[in-house]
Amino acid sequence: MKIGKSLYAFLLLFCCLTAVGFANTQPLAKKGVVDLRRQSFFEKIPLDGQWCFYWHQLINPNDTTKHNACIVDFPFKWNGFSLRGETLPSFGYATYQLTVLLPSKTPPLSLSVPDAYCAYRLYLNGKMVAEDGRVSNTPEGFEAHWQNNIVDVPTGVDTLKVVLQIANFVHSKGGISKSIVIGERRMIDLSRRRSEAIDLLLTGCLFMGGLFFLGLYIFGNRDKAILLFSLYSIVYSYRIIGVNNYELHTILPDISWYVTIRLEYISLFAGIGLFGLYTLYLYPRDIYKPIVYVIGSICFLFSAASAVLPPLYFTQLINPFLIVTVFCLVFIPYVYIKAYRNKRPGSGYALASSFSLMVVFSISLFHYWAIIGPLQLLNFAGYVSFFFLQSLILSHRVSFALKRARAQAEQGLKAKSEFLSTMSHEIRTPLNSVIGMSHLLLKTNPRPDQVEHLDVMLFSANNLLAIVNDILDYNKIEAGKIVFEHTEMDIASIAGNIVAGLQNSANDKGIGLKLQVDSALNNKVIGDPTRLFQVISNLVHNAIKFTQAGGVEVGITVKGQTEHDVTLSIWVKDTGIGISKDKQKLIFERFTQADSSTSRGFGGTGLGLAISKRILELQNSTLQLESEEGKGSTFYFIQTFLKSIKTVEQLKKEDNLPKEDNKPFTGIHILLVEDNPMNVLVAQKFLQRWGADIDVAANGLEALNKLDISKHQLVLMDLHMPVMDGYESARNIRAQGISIPIIALTANLPGEIQLKVKEAGIDDIMVKPFLPDELYRKVLHYI
C-alpha cells in the first residue's frame, strides 16, 4: 500500500516537472525571423521555431543571391525528412538561417551552441564565430567533432543574422537536435560553468566510488555484486563527462570523434547490462534469471557492435535500445520491491534507490525526446542519491556477510572446544588408570626388570598426558578462557622441584642440571604456581631435550625489589644445539619446530613454546631468547610479582607433611563416588595404602544413600556419572545441611567447571589422572 502511494506521488511530481518543461512561453521564430525586441534576456531564450533550411547547400553568409529555402522547425534533424517528394538521407550537408531582431539596447549577450550531427560552422552577421569539426560538401573534407561552444553576440546591433552550416558523413542522424540558446553573457557563462562543475563532481563521485568498490572486491570477499557495481559506476562515470556537455572533449581536445562516439555508446549499452547483472547477483532469488540473461546478451551484442561497426550502423541501435532501457526502468524496481517483500538484506535501500533511478532515467529519456530541459540539479541529486543508496546496500551486504561468517566461526570454535573437551575427558579417564596402576605397581616392590618396563610405561603415559594437556591448554588460551590463580607460591621451590624431577633425565643423557637461586629472594610471592611450573618445566624439558653435551642451568635472579614487589629474571640456559637467527621468531608459533627433522629426532608437538609465550604475555611478561646455533640457548623472562607476607621459612614448616608409609589415614572413612571401575580401583588402592577405609558408590544417587555423616569424613565425587551426576548429588548433600568436605574428581580442566562446582557446594577439584602426591595432599588437607 505504502509503495503504491509513493509511486503515485512520484508520478505526480514527474508530471508537474514535465508540465514545467512544456510550459514554454518564449517567442518562437516565424518564417526565419524571431523577434526578441521585447525580451529581457535575463532568462535563457532558445532560438527555436521556423528557420530557413537549404539542403545540399553551404551558403556563404555574404552571398546575396537568392536561394531556394524551405522552412523547418528548429532544432531540426534532416534524416527522414520529406523535401519536395524526396526523403533526405542522413549523409549530406545544409545551411540553416535565422534572423534575430534584438532591442536597440541590450546587456552583453552570448549564444550557447550545442553539438550537431556531426560538424558545424556558425556565422553571426557574416563573420564566422564558431566551428566544431570541419564542414564540407564532400566526405573527404569533412571531419566530425562534438563540443559545446559559447559565442559572444556582437554588441550594438539590433539585427543578428545567424547562419549555421552543418555537414554529416558518418552518423545515422544529420542536422541538429538541441536548441541554440541566447541570453545575458554573464548568465550563460555561469550556467555553463555550473553544468560543468556538476558533471565533474558527479564523475569524480562515481569514478572514485567505483574504484573503492573494485578495491573492496579485490581485497575483500570477492562478492560478484560488488564487482559489477564497481564496473557499472566506472563505466557510467564516463557518460557524465563524455556525453551531453562533452567536458572530456574540452579536457582532451585532440581525442578522435570515432573513439568518443564508440565509448559513448559502449558505456550506455554496457552500463545497463552491468546494472542488470548486478541486480541479478544482488537478489538472485527475486529475479527471473532468463530476463537478465536476455538483457545482458543484448547489451553485450550492442556493445560489441559499437566497438567494431562504423558509426552509421551502431548509432541506429539507440532506438531499439530505448525499449531495453524502458523495460529496465520497470523491471529493476519490480525486483527491488520483490526483494523488499522477501526481506532481503539492504532491500529497503534498494527500493529507495529505485525511485532515484526512475528520476534519473526519466529525466534522460524525456530530455532525449526534448520534452523537458536537462534538469541538471535534479538529475545530479537523483544520481548521487541512487549511488549512495546502492553503496548502502553493498555495505549492508558486506557487514551482513561478515556477521554471518563471524557467527559461523564462533560456532565452529565452540564445536572445536566442545570436541576437545569431550576428547580430553575420554582420553584422560583411561590414562588415569594407566598412570595410577603404574604408580601402584612401582610401589609394590616389583622385580628390577619389571621396574624398567613400568618406568617405560609410565613415561609414555605421562608423555601422552602432556600432549593432551598441551592441546587443551593451547585451545583454552586461544579461546581466552584461561584464568590465572593468585595464590602464595615459593618460586625457588617450584624451580627446585622441576630440577629435582628432571635430574634423572639429565643424568641419563650425561649432562648436568643445576639450579641457581639468588640469595636476595626470601619471600613467597603471589602468582599462579601451576602456570609458572608449566612454563619453567617446558623450558627445562626443551633444554635437556636439545642438549647432548655440557649442561643445563636454571636460574632465578632478583632484578629489583621494593617493599611490596619483586622483579625476577627466570632463565634456562643450555649448551645444546642452539637455534639459528632466522628460526628464532618462528619457534614461538604453534606447531612450529626450528627444523622439521626435530620431531623425528627429539619428538614434541611444537606447542610448548607457543603456550609458554602466551601464558607469559597474559601476565604482562615476554618470553625471550638468546641463542647461537651449535653453542646453546638461553630462554628467559622477566616478571614482577607481589610479595606475600609469609616468608619462605614459614612455608617450609607448613609443608612438613606426615610420611605416607606411616599410614596416616588410618581410621579415616572416605566415600568414593565413581562409576568407572578402573578409576575406583586406582583411587581405592592408593587410599587404602595410606590407611583409609573406602566405601564405594557407583553414582550420585547411590552416594546419597550410602553417605553416613557419623562415619565418613570426606567424599571423593566423580562429576560425570549415570543416574545422578556429581553436581546434583553434591547439591542434594548440601541441601540436607551436611557440610562434609567434597572433592570433585574430573577429567575436565578446573577452569571450565569451576563455577558449576562452586554452585553445587563442592570444596575442591582433583583433575584426573591424579598424581598420588596431589591426592595425598588434598585428602590430608581436608581431613
Q: Which three cell numbers stand for residue 325?
A: 532501457
CB of 503 to ligand ADP, least distance (A): 17
Residues 6+ apart with CB under 8 A from 3: 337, 340, 351
Answer for which of 17, 119, 228, 609 binds ligand ADP (CB under 6 A) is: 609
3-state SS, residue 686: helix
- Determine, following the binding rule CB under 6 A, whether residue 633 of this chain makes contact with ligand ADP: yes
- Nearer of residues 555 and 578 to ligand ADP, judged by Cβ: 578
CA gap 469, 462 in Å, rounded? 10
Alpha carbon distance 504, 458 (integer Å): 14
Q: Which is nearer to ligand ADP, 143 or 473 (CB)?
A: 473
Q: Is 447 strand, coil or helix?
A: coil
* Residue closer to ligand ADP, measured from CB, 49 or 604: 604
Report yes or no: 744 and 726 within 8 Å, Cβ to Cβ.
yes
Alpha-carbon span 380 to 198, nearest angstrom: 7
* 474 lies in the binding site for ligand ADP (CB under 6 A): no
The answer to the question of residue 511 lying near ligand ADP (CB under 6 A) is: no
How many other C-beta atoms are found inside a 10 Å radius of the C-beta of residue 16?
10
Neighbours of 477 (CB within 10 A): 18
Count of positions on this chain that bind ligand ADP (CB under 6 A): 22
Residue of 503, 598, 619, 621 interacting with ligand ADP (CB under 6 A) = 598
Pick between residue 36 and residue 587 the one whose CB is nearest to ligand ADP.
587
The answer to whether residue 608 forms part of the interface with ligand ADP (CB under 6 A) is yes
Q: Toward ligand ADP, which CB reaches closer, 393 or 607?
A: 607
Q: Give the C-alpha separation, 241 to 148, whole Å.
A: 12
Within 13 Å of residue 133, how many CA atoms lie on the same side as its CB? 28
Query: What does each C-alpha distance from 413 to 273, 474, 483, 518 come to in angstroms?
Result: 42, 13, 19, 44
Q: How far apart, in Å, are the Cα atoms of 157 and each of 41, 98, 104, 153, 160?
A: 15, 15, 7, 9, 7
Q: Which is nearer to ligand ADP, 534 or 633 (CB)?
A: 633
If you write DSSP's letter for every residue of 501-530 in order, what string do you get? HHHHHHHHHT-EEEEEE-TT--EEEEE-HH
379 binds ligand ADP (CB under 6 A): no
Does residue 546 belong to the site contacting ligand ADP (CB under 6 A)?
A: yes
Reference 143, options 257, 262, 260, 263; nearest CA is 257
Q: In a 3-state reduction of DSSP, which class is residue 334?
A: helix
User: Which of 52, 280, 394, 543 contacts ligand ADP by CB under 6 A?
Assistant: 543
Only one of the segments 107-115, 197-205, 339-347, 587-595 lies at the binding site for ligand ADP (rule: CB under 6 A); that segment is 587-595
Q: Are strands 565-574 and 624-628 parallel, antiparallel or unpaired?
A: unpaired
Residue 502 binding ligand ADP, by CB under 6 A: no
| Cα–Cα nearest to 520, from 591, 473, 568 | 568
Least distance (Å) between residue 539 CB and ligand ADP = 7
CB nearer to ligand ADP: give 463 or 487.
463
One residue of 536, 540, 579, 716 binding ligand ADP per CB under 6 A: 579
607 counts as binding ligand ADP under rule CB under 6 A: yes
Q: Is the peptide bond before 769 cis (omega within 30 degrees of 0)?
A: yes
- Residue of the chain from 542, 639, 699, 713 that contacts ligand ADP (CB under 6 A): 542
Which CB sits closer to ligand ADP, 542 or 732? 542
Distance CA 387, CA 206 (A): 8
Q: Decide: is 551 part of the binding site for ligand ADP (CB under 6 A).
A: no
Question: In the 3-class helix/strand/coil scheme, how is 246-264 assigned residue by residue?
Answer: CHHHHHCCCCCHHHHHHHH
What are the backbone dihedrals phi and psi of residue 152, each rounded to the nearest 5 degrees, phi first?
A: -80, 135
Nearer residue to ligand ADP within complex by CB, 428 or 541: 541
Question: Please, which residue, 623 or 694, has the CB nearer to ligand ADP?
Answer: 623
- Which of 223, 473, 553, 574 is close enough to bind ligand ADP by CB under 6 A? 574
Is residue 537 near ligand ADP by the rule CB under 6 A?
no
Are 757 and 720 in contact by the 8 Å Cβ rule? The answer is no
* End-to-end CA, the chain: 78
699 three-class SS: coil
Shortest distance in whole angstroms from residue 611 CB to ligand ADP: 8
Residue 672 DSSP class: E
The region of 103-111, 112-120, 326-334, 542-550 touching ligand ADP under the rule CB under 6 A is: 542-550
Q: Which of 203, 424, 593, 676 binds ligand ADP (CB under 6 A)?
A: 593
- Interaction of residue 534 with ligand ADP, rule CB under 6 A: no
User: Closest Cα to residue 207, out of 232, 177, 180, 243?
Assistant: 232
Whole-number Å distance between alpha carbons of 741 and 734: 10
Task: Say whether residue 435 binds ligand ADP (CB under 6 A).
Answer: no
Q: Which of 49, 576, 726, 769 binds ligand ADP (CB under 6 A)?
A: 576
Q: How far is the CB of 569 from ligand ADP (least distance, A)?
A: 17
The minimum distance between CB 642 and ligand ADP, in angstroms, equals 29
Q: According to CB under 6 A, which one of 59, 594, 760, 779 is a site residue for ligand ADP?
A: 594
* Shortest distance in whole angstroms from residue 571 CB to ligand ADP: 12
Of 116 and 579, the one with the shorter C-beta distance to ligand ADP is 579
Closest CB 499 distance from ligand ADP, rounded Å: 15
Cβ proximity of 627 and 549 under 8 Å: no
Of 590 and 643, the one with the shorter C-beta distance to ligand ADP is 590
For ligand ADP, the closer CB: 325 or 505: 505
Residues 720, 162: Cα–Cα separation, whole Å: 102
Of the pair 344, 541, the CB lying nearest ligand ADP is at 541
Question: Measured at CB, which residue is nearest to ligand ADP?
Answer: 604
Minimum CB separation of residue 578 from ligand ADP in Å reads 6
| Least CB distance to ligand ADP at residue 572 (A) | 7
Find the part of the chain contacting ligand ADP (CB under 6 A) among 149-157, 351-359, 367-375, 574-582.
Answer: 574-582
Q: Is 606 in the site for ligand ADP (CB under 6 A)?
A: yes
Q: What are the residues binding ligand ADP (CB under 6 A)?
A: 538, 542-543, 546, 574, 576-579, 587, 593-595, 598, 604-610, 633
